[in-house]
Amino acid sequence: MDVRLVRLMATVKDARGALVSSLAKEDFRLTENGVPQDVVLFERESGQPLSVTLLLDTSGSTAIELKYEVESVRKFLRAIFQEGNPNDAVSLYTFNYEVTIQSNFTRRIQRLEGALRSIKSEGGTSMYDALYLSSEALGTRDGRHVIVIVTDGGDTTSTKKFHDALEAVQGADAVIYPVLVIPIASDPGRNRGGENALETLAVQTGGRVFLPSISSLDRAFDDILRDLRTQYVIGYYPKNVPRSKDRFHKVELTVNKPGYRVQARTGYFGDYDVDAPNPGLGQSTIKPKH
C-alpha cells in the first residue's frame, strides 16, 4: 500500500497570543495515534501558493448585513492579491437554499468584484452542502488550501450533514476560518448549535472562529491574513501506526517550549488519499452562475 504525505498547515502563538514565525523543525513534536512521526517537510512562513475558497451566506437572514459583509470581503480579496504569492487564487461561492459557484479559482479581482455586486439575499441556508461541494475543486489545487465562510450560523436546508462536510474538508486538506456575523450577541434566537458546529470544524482543521460585529469585520479578515502569512507547512509519511477500525487518524502537533499554542488540524480520515481530490462528491449539486 502506498503511504501518502500528510501535510499540516500550522499557526503558532506565544503565551501573549502573538504569532510566532521563527521556530525550527526541531522545535515541533508530531504524533499520529500517539506514535511519534518524523517531519520530512518543513517550511516557515510558507511561500506555497494559497488557494482560498470564499463561501458567502446569502440566505434571507443575512439581508440586513449583506452589503457590509460584501464590502469587507472585497477589501479582503484585494489584500490577498496585493500582499501574497503571484500564484495565489480565490474561488467564490454563495449559498442559500442552494449552492452557486460565482467564480472558479481566479486572480482576476474584477471578476470576483463583479460577482459580489450581483448577489442578493433569499431562502434558507445550505452551509454543509457549500462546504462539501466546494471541497472537490479545492482539493485538486497545488499549495495551501483555505476555506473562509461568512455566515450568521446554522444550517436549515442542506442535504449533507455535519460529518459529510467535515470529511470532505479534511479530504481536501483545507483549513476553515468561519466568520460568524452575529448582529446581536445576546439574541435568544441565535443558532448556538450551528455556531458550535463551525467552532468544531475550525478547530479540527486548524483554523479558528471569528465573531465580529459589523463594525469589526475588516479586523477579522486582517487577522485571517496574518495567520495565513505566518503559517508553517509540516509534512510526514505515517509510519509504525497500528492498524485500527477507526477511520479517523488522530494527529497532534505541539511545540517543545512552554507557553506556545499550535493551531493545526487534529487528524485525517484514512480512507482518503490526502494528495487526491475527494471521491464521490457528486451527490449534491452546485448551481452555476448564469
1: confidence class by pLDDT, cuts 50, 70, 90: very low
Say if residue 109's pLDDT is above 60. yes
* Mean per-residue pLDDT over the chain, rounded: 88
Distance between CA atoms of 175 and 203, rounded to whole angstroms? Answer: 9
Using DSSP, state whether 196 is helix, strand or coil: helix
Instruction: Look up residue 84 and give its three cell numbers.
Output: 501574497
- Of residues 186 and 127, more confidently modeled: 127
- Of residues 190 and 135, more confidently modeled: 135
Count the residues in the chain: 290
CA distances from 241 to 171, 211, 238, 244, 274 (A): 19, 38, 7, 9, 17
What global pTM score does this model have? 0.88
pLDDT digits 0-9 by tens, 75-98: 999 999 987 788 999 999 999 999
Distance between CA atoms of 133 and 123, rounded to whole angstroms? Answer: 19
Residue 198's nearest CA partner among 271, 147, 159, 262 is 147
Q: What is the pLDDT of residue 84?
A: 74
Report how far Cα 189 is from the mean position of its chain's Cα atoms.
26
Distance between CA atoms of 245 and 247, rounded to whole angstroms? Answer: 6
Distance between CA atoms of 234 and 285, rounded to whole angstroms? Answer: 34
